[in-house]
Amino acid sequence: MATYRFRHDRIENELRAHFGSSADLSLIPIRLADRDGLLCFLSTMTNSTFLMNNVVQPLLQASNREIIFDSAEALDSLRLRLFGGLNTRLLEDPGHLPEWITQGYAGLLLDGQDRMLLIHVQELEKRSIAEPTAQNVIRGPKEAFTESADTNMSMIRRRILNENLRFEKHVIGSKSNTSVYLAYLEGEADERLLNPIREKLRSARLTGLFDSGGLENELQSNRFYLFPTAYNSERPDSICSCLLDKRIALIVNGSPFVLIIPAQFTDFFKSPEDQYQWFVFGTFIRLLRYVAFLFSLTLPAFYVAVTCYHQELVPTLLLTSIMAQRQGIPFPAVVEMFLMEITFELLREAGTRMPRLVGQSISIAGALVLGEAAVQAGIVSNITVIIVALTAISGYVSPVYTFGANIRLFRFALIVLSSIIGLYGVILGCAYLLIHLTRIETFGVPYLSPLSRFSGKRSA
């Protein structure tokens, strides 16, 4: 007689050893006909009503269904007759049982069987689909991804009714075991792109992954890139149009932001809404975003350079006005600019992080106290406030927030350069940025690719 690996008392002990004193481990002894059995699951991964209706009730009625519990096929017939509608599988190696349980399966075993049945009973609370918070449009779909990868995939699937759409599951995070789904259109997406990404996912050395942002950093080949090399969106319509565009999406369970690879410079100036309106207006808005990008990058540096080194470039009346405003300001233009820029960064950070209830106080402190009073007191000049405000507004024009964030850091570098060597420094900085941009590659795709196609290696 074969040694029964699946004896209920033995498995029970093993599971207790594995999960320790964890309170959510449910081990329910059962008795079917005359055999002892065990139902084991994590109560936190399911909900009791679901379990009652779908597992316990059918089992209670099992005896009516003429199932012969003595036969070797007992589990097979249980599976077919009782749990037909559920995702079930048979487990042969008891060693893997804890893994399955943590993934939301309930294990059902009967003494005398050399396999056990796993029933997918995962039923979790999740946030319902809401409007996007970070990437709004006025006209266009108002749905945003949620934290549940299943919901997210469903939202993609229902937009692309195509049997070639694939969701390939990967597990990342040595401790968190987060599911990451690689979504692409079979036959459309480039294999030369897919394979390196699969490779990266497999070799990713993360202990935990709780947002797609972490994965984005992991996929970046060089961590000192100033620009994000993966596009992220919380909008299903934007992700779907990227998928149709032969790109690859990465859906991380637990993150409402879906990644798109490869990303190019121009992607960060596109909003899905551009497609939903008259093309002339869409183009105009897009050009405006490029202008805003330049503003947010160079405006403070340009101001500092021009007022400190190149007064001859400013129209006389404007210069007169600037000079009059700076009359009696105790700091040099650079210090003043830094003061205001840092103040704005503080305000922005406080505004993002603070509890909603105290939101009012930040705007009062920011707008009234810092803006008005600082000018009134003659600590900063009006023109600086204008420049900082314009720069700040321009920084938020990009539809993807992370894009603007990195640029802000480089802006500070430009201000320093311009304060030391004037416009020459601004030009140096911009030249560096351009060289940097041309050098970025994501999985073999040049970052500036729609704008510049030149590549020494490939053109040879």
Partner 1 sequence: MRKLARLIGAVLLLGACLQMSGCWDMVEVSRASLMTGLALEPGHDGRILVTLEVLNSAETMSVKGGKGGSPSQLYSNEADTIIEAMIRMNEHLDRMLIPSHIRVIIVDERIAREGLDRFMDFVQRSRYVREDVTLLVSRGTKASDMLRVAYPDGMYAGFGIQSQVFNYHNNWGGVPDSFMYEVAQSAFSPGKELLLGAVTLDKKSDKEESVENSKMLDPQTLVRITGSAAFRENRLIGFLSKEDTRMVLLVTNQLKRTTISFPLDGQGKYAAIRLIRYHTSKKVRMIEGRPLVSINVEAAGLVASMDDNLAIDKIHGYEELDRLASEHLKECLTATIEKMQKQYKVDVFGFGEHLYRHRYHEFMPVSKEWNEQFAKAKVVVQVSVKIERSELKSRNLSRNKVEN
Tell me which residues touch partner 1 (CB under 8 A). 307-309, 311-312, 316-329, 332-333, 420-422, 424-425, 428
Which residue, chain included where needed, has tokens 């103040």?
Answer: 343
Return the closest-CA partner of residue 400 out of 260, 192, 217, 209: 260
Minimum CB–partner distance for residue 227 and partner 1 (Å)? 19
Minimum CB–partner distance for residue 325 and partner 1 (Å)? 7
Q: DSSP letter at 163?
A: T
- Output 214 or 300, the one with its CB closest to partner 1: 300
Beta-bridge partner residues of 19: none
Q: Long-range CB contacts (< 8 A, 24+ apart) of 242-247?
A: 243/156, 243/160, 243/165, 243/183, 243/184, 243/185, 243/188, 244/160, 244/185, 244/188, 246/185, 246/188, 246/189, 246/190, 247/184, 247/189
- Output 346 or 431, the one with its CB closest to partner 1: 431
- Output 152 or 419, the one with its CB closest to partner 1: 419
- Output 288 or 323, the one with its CB closest to partner 1: 323
Element (H, E) at 304: helix 279-308
Strands (E) across 129-164 are located at none
Minimum CB–partner distance for residue 438 and partner 1 (Å)? 16
Return the closest-CA partner of residue 238 out of 102, 164, 134, 367: 134
Contact 27, 40 (CB under 8 A): yes
Minimum CB–partner distance for residue 437 and partner 1 (Å)? 17
- Output 362 or 420, the one with its CB closest to partner 1: 420
Minimum CB–partner distance for residue 430 and partner 1 (Å)? 13
Minimum CB–partner distance for residue 303 and partner 1 (Å)? 11
Element (H, E) at 180: strand 178-185
H-helix segments, 2-56: 8-19, 48-51
Q: DSSP letter at 63?
A: G
- Output 362 or 437, the one with its CB closest to partner 1: 437
Minimum CB–partner distance for residue 422 and partner 1 (Å)? 6
- Output 13 or 311, the one with its CB closest to partner 1: 311
